[in-house]
Amino acid sequence: MTPARPVDRDVFNLLTRLFVRRLIDNDLISPHADRHESLAVVYAFVVSLATFVTFFISTDYLAAFIQLPGPTALSALSDRFLFIAGSITITALSALLVWDSLALEPRDAAILGPLPIHARALTRAKLAAAALFGVLSAIGVNAVPAVVYPLFLTLNMRGMSGAGILRLMAGHGTAVVLAGLLGFFGVFAARGTP
């Protein structure tokens, strides 16, 4: 394999930015319309919903005077299942939202084909844009619950150190983000099958 030249890296970065922007702005839906505002409202709704669900799930842990680690871990299993299932569902729905933009479109081939850009660079940039969108949507959906839920879960637990809470946050955040990526890329893989 030959190493990538700086020009190829610049072309790849430019194409990736173009494809990410086209995942958000699709002129086939409504020409001359700005989808940033509607996507911001949808994102704010999802984050607010995740925050409220996290708080209402955590009320039992906040109301307990003293918590023991064993019973708390057992009662938190159903909550963790809810967070994982919610992450998979919401990120899979975000993949369905941009379903038409996930594959390489004929318009891309018609416009970018005559340019001196390799087809491999187009495909890599499209895959990188889809992966970037999936990662950002999974992180965006799960950022608030990954911090708030472990904090509320261990608030009344004796013997929890700050390092232990940070490890719990990191473990919870990793699990739900990876679950979200599973949902997103599952839909992405279904898009790629004929």
Tokens for 66, please give them: 């003293």
Q: What is the pLDDT of residue 178?
A: 93
Neighbours of 132 (CB within 10 A): 15
Domain ranges (residues) in the chain: 34-192
> In this predicted model, which residue has the larger pLDDT, 26 or 18?
18
Residue 45 scores a pLDDT above 90 = no
Residues 148-173 pLDDT 10s: 888 888 877 777 788 888 998 899 89
pLDDT at 33: 58
d(CA 168, CA 152): 11
